[in-house]
Structure 1
Amino acid sequence: MKHPLTAFLAALAALALTPAAAEVKYASQGAQWTPASRSDFYSRDQGARIMPFAWFKALKRPDGSGFLDDGMRHYGYLPNPDSPTPGLPVGFLTASENNVRTLSVTCSACHTRQIEVEGVSWRIDGGPALSDFQSLLADIDSSVDTVLNNGAAFDDFAKAVGANGEDSRKALREEVATWFKPYHTLMSKALPSPGWGVGRADAVSMIFNRVAGLDIGQPPTRIIEGNIAPANAPVRYPFIWKAPVQDTTQWPGFARNGDDILGLARNVGEVYGVFGVYHPTQSILPNITNFLNDSSLNFAGLQQLEILLKQIEPPKWPFALDAALVAKGDQIFHRSPKDGGCAKGCHEVATGPARVCNPDTWRTPIQDVGTDSKEYSVLGRDADTGVLEGASIPLLPGVDKPLKPRDKIITILGLSVIGSILEAPLHFGLDVFRPIAEECLPLRPARPLALKLALVEKLRQGLKNVYKKPDAAPSFAYESRVMRGIWAAAPYLHNGSVPTLSDLLKPAAERPASFKVGPAYDIEKVGLAAEQPGLNSTYAADDCAKRDSGNSRCGHEFGVKLSPEEKKALLEYLKSL
């Protein structure tokens, strides 16, 4: 363990170098996005449960400092002065679970961006975070391992959490060991080397790993180690403004989306992937599964987060714009892609398919433009189905066939998500879905039973084929998203392999083979600055010979033949979106 003074100086240095040390301004994101909305978004409980908060406060990171000594800025998380739990950053909170105050995480932890320009930090809500999630996960793993295997460390830990007697210390050790077994199993088998780095995570793999690897085995551990695979297909966190109206989500576009029902499905899957408690059991009745057994899902919180998400508008460019260049760039943007344009068939605002509770969605074309293919290896994974073997939901396409002893993880996840949602009104009462009922049932039946049945039927209709199964011969196609606010989302491509929009307008072979990822921003090239004085990691981008590496900068060679003057105009227009 490092000397306390060394740890203090390290924490002080990190504090000075992170974006929190600069003046903070907030990007303009629409009239509905108020300080109260922002504060709610930063700390609204969704049902994730990491560990007892007293443990987290007592743990020491590998360098000897506490996780909260610098407000978790060491990992790139952002200060939240309005946190109900002082000291926790944006996206972290505490929630009560079985009378225990528990550390939790919510969606803003991964979807709040801060960039630094000339000594000012611009906060951008809904933007892709520049945090190092893998390092946080790995440090927690190392710290708890030390507590369990180092007598002095356990003594300090026990004293800090108030376990002073022999019996209470013994009970604490058993409780920590029980918590640690699934956590360490996941981290030791899933976290890749080299790691994801700043601003990236393999969220899909981690969701698959948690649900199939930690949740559906036989009690008491529920672990199926063979269902856990390395999470080695990291992608850049997506921006989430306007996500509620996209007709698909997830970079490969495998999740149907576009209304509150499908938004709930999207978010239930996310919670199960980030420490949500999910312990499905078979009922005493044949072929009936209790999906919400011991569930920690906070349905009210998830629906409130979706309401907040609808209020976040794309951030407006906070710096000067050249109006003449913007007008010229507008014309270039709306050319066909073969002529160097971006909109037609790709990044235009176009009407997508109607949903059960929303007739107006934004079309999100799923296209193969030659970019990295690694994420598709995740979608095709299969796994032992454990306690869910034979489970199904009749009359609901996508999950209506009983799970085989070994099946696709995407089907296991779909069944888990849909089953949890359909069970909720019967488990918690109709009011659990009041926001969805108000959107989907404008003519509300007067009788409570009729209202409940009408809502369940809407849910059933809306949850058909929530997840698209991967093709036998995948085309490696990804979302072509609407470009509103794209200036604030560097690095670019789905795997974050290109540092600036300027670099994206170059042939793949001419794009940087390595670059630093951090908060310092280049407003001329529109993206990451070459030098990153604070928290950063270096991204080594592979060429097109390694399209399946997860780190390839290959593909999307649109606009590469534009003249320098045309590229400058196009960049100016993209800033204005």
Structure 2
Amino acid sequence: DGLARYGYLANPASPTPGLPVGFVVADGVLGPSCAACHTRQIEVEGKAYRIDGGPALADMGALWADLDTVVGKVLADTASFSEFAKAVLGSGYDPQKETKLRGEVDLWYARHHAITEAGLPKDRPWGAGRIDAVGMILNRVTGLDIGPGPTHIILGNMRKADAPVRPPFLWNAPRQDHTQWPGFADNGDRILAMARNVGQVYGVFGEFFPEKDATHLLGFNYVKANSVDFKGLIELERLVERIGPPKWPWPTDRTLAAQGKLIYERPYEEGGCADCHGIDRGQPRLLNPDTWCTPVQDVGTDAREYQYFAPDWKVDTGALTGAFIPFVSEPLGRTDAPVSVLATAARGAILQHFLPVTVNGVERKKADVALAILQPLIEELKGVYKIPGTPGAGRWACRRAPETPGKLKFEARVLEGVWAAAPYLHNASVPSLAELLKPPQDRATDFKVGPAYDVSAVGLA
């Protein structure tokens, strides 16, 4: 069914027949791209509207769990695996190749099963339209990438990824000066976009096995065993920059719209929206001085995602013990914050890819001079994956948005095109704008999730 059972969308133009939107085959490997989680389809009166960059209503958690189950069953039955091997190897099949394939699948399954058991919640699944990407990215990098070979697993570094959120819409995302729902990642130019996207690749099955390497400028090799397609990420970000907010495709009552505009633009103290959700000048970035300010505020919503920034959660830094980025970070301790490990992994890979410099003792002084020249560029990466509330995690003050008390803060984005992004709030807990405008205690406590759309309520039907 082209993975339709999980909510993924049909793609008749797929180069590989049968694959849905956002799934591609490259170098003989199947994997998801940005579009898998960031393409929406809504349906009204039998007509479907496909929205590029909209939050998908797919169930990645169910796909993840089912993949673990089915591969486990195939490995447990010799006849089933032989049938699988013949399908994979085709005309080149022979018993020796089957044995080799068996070893490769055993290794893949050991890693996938480990993160499935340790990280995927079973009692409260993510469900359609929600995914705990941050939790699983941290699990992947600290739990599957930096341990001893051949599995590279550090089981004790992983924890349940039980803070699912709605995937954000992508239009205008490159212009935000901060991103991720808690606003813990600097954003706004292509350097920072690369860091954001490298982290996502690590989370969705990317290969990354760093190792110490004194011959490299950074003292570690971040790209020797790294499947990130840097050229592809640059092209994808260019495409995202071209995505504009979707236009409302149905008739509008212009009189009511004018009245609503006045309410929306009222000051915050009078119940308006634009102070937090309007366009305001953001923090200038090295390669882009024209960003949009992204307020990050505590408005009393679900704050479970903040468990990943708890000061008492430390992980074994494994292969990255002692790693640091000049001008940007201190060396990782034997144990350290998982967000710091992720930040080092992303920064290191980017710098090594774009500055593939190897050095020996004689050349070290020259290398230090080169680093000094590149200091402004390297320092741009300082804001990659910060721990909220720590020194150095300060924020640009938006001119219009009010400061809110409390520390459990989430971003308030510009709302252009928000009609196509239901359900609402960061955790997808409100089905429509009509419900969102009610007092919290009066909102629907349960609702169906799917493509059916209610035009009058502006959200899920």
TM-score > 0.5, shorter chain as reference: yes
The 1-side partners of 2:237 and 2:273 are apart by: 29
1:155 equivalent in alignment to 2:111: no
Deviation at 1:474, TM superposition (A): 6.7
1:394-452 deviation digits (Å, cap 9, x = unpaired): 222xx2x11111100111011111111111123399xxxxxxxxxxxxxxxxxxx9xx9
Within the candidate set 377, 380, 383, 1:459 is matched to 377
Secondary structure of residue in 1 paired with 2:114: helix
CA positional deviation for 1:237: 0.7
TM-aligned CA distance change 1:465 to 1:162, over 3 Å: closer
Paired residue secondary structure (1:196): coil
Task: Please tell me the residue identity of whatever aligns with 1:185.
Answer: A
CA contact (8 A) 1:491 1:528 kept: yes
**Contact 1:126/1:241 (<8 A) preserved:** yes
Aligned pair 1:192/2:121, yes or no?
yes
Structure 1 residues 412-421 or 148-157, which shifts more? 148-157
Partner of 2:70: 143
Question: In the alignment, which residue of structure 2 is the partner of 1:425?
Answer: 354
2: CA distance, partners of 1:72 / 1:258: 34
**Pairing 1:107–2:34 present:** yes
Matched residue, 2:237: 306
Q: Where does residue 41 of structure 1 map in the other structure?
A: none
What is the CA RMSD across the aligned residues, in angstroms?
A: 2.0
Instruction: Find runs of 4+ consecutive structure 1 residues off by over 6 angstroms.
Output: 452-455
- Name 1:516's counterpart in structure 2: 448
Going from structure 1 to structure 2, the CA distance change for 1:167 and 1:230 (only over 3 Å counts) comes to same
- Tell me which residue corresponds to 2:389: 471
Partner of 1:364: 294
SS in 2 for 1:124: strand
In structure 2, how many angstroms separate the alpha carbons of the residues matched to 1:325 and 1:217? 59
SS at match of 1:200: coil
Which of 242, 265, 268 is matched with 1:334 structurally? 265
2:145 partner amino acid: D
1:498 corresponds in structure 2 to: 430
Structure 1 SS opposite 2:336: strand
Change beyond 3 A, Cα 1:453–1:384 = closer
Q: CA deviation at 1:303?
A: 0.6
Distance 1:492 1:337 in 2: 20
- Asked if the contact 1:201/1:235 (under 8 Å) is kept, the reply is yes
Q: 1:92 deviation in Å?
A: 0.7
Letter in 1 for 2:99: K
2:15 to 84, 106, 109: 84
The offset of 1:236, in angstroms, is 0.5
CA distance in 1, matches of 2:227, 2:424: 35
**Aligned partner of 2:298: which letter?**
D
CA contact (8 A) 2:321 2:331 kept: yes
Q: 2:251, 2:303 → 1: CA distance?
A: 38
In 1, the alpha carbon distance for the partners of 2:59 and 2:406 equals 30
Structure 1, unaligned stretches of length 5 or more? 1-69, 430-448, 530-577
1:130-187, Cα deviation, whole Å (9 max, x unpaired): 1011111111111110011023322321222237533232222222101111111001
Secondary structure of the corresponding residue to residue 331 of structure 1: helix
What are the residue-to-residue correspondences of 1:78-477 with 2, within 5 Å?
A: 78-96=9-27, 101-162=28-89, 164-193=93-122, 194-284=124-214, 288-344=219-275, 346-380=276-310, 381-396=313-328, 399=329, 401-427=330-356, 456-471=374-389, 475-477=407-409
SS in 1 for 2:356: helix
The runs of 5 or more residues in structure 2 that have no matched partner are 359-366, 391-404
Aligned partners of 1:376 and 1:474 also within 8 Å: no
SS of the residue aligned with 1:161?
Answer: helix
Superposed CA deviations along residues 311-366 of structure 1, whole A, max 9, x for unmatched, are 0000000000001111000000011233221112x111101111000011000000
Instruction: Check conservation: 2:214, 2:220, Cα contact below 8 A.
Output: no
C-alpha deviation, 1:121, in angstroms: 0.8
C-alpha separation in 1, matches of 2:274 and 2:282: 15
Q: 1:474 to 1:156 in 2, by over 3 A?
A: farther
1:489 aligns with 2:418: no
User: What amino acid is the match of 1:235?
Assistant: V
Alignment CA distance shift 1:183-1:482 (3 Å): same
Q: How big is the shift at 1:277? A: 1.0
Q: Which moved more, 1:374-383 or 1:267-276?
A: 374-383
Aligned partner letter, 2:194:
L
SS of the equivalent of 2:81 reads helix
CA contact (8 A) 1:422 1:459 kept: no
Letter in 1 for 2:265: H
Matching residue of 1:563: none
* Secondary structure class of the residue paired with 2:31: strand
Q: Deviation of residue 232 (structure 1)?
A: 0.2
Measured in 1, the distance between the counterparts of 2:238 and 2:231 equals: 11
Q: CA deviation at 1:457?
A: 4.5
Post-superposition Cα deviations, 1:54-81, rounded to whole Å, max 9, x if no partner, equal xxxxxxxxxxxxxxxx111111111222
Q: 1 CA distance for matches of 2:203 and 2:373?
A: 27
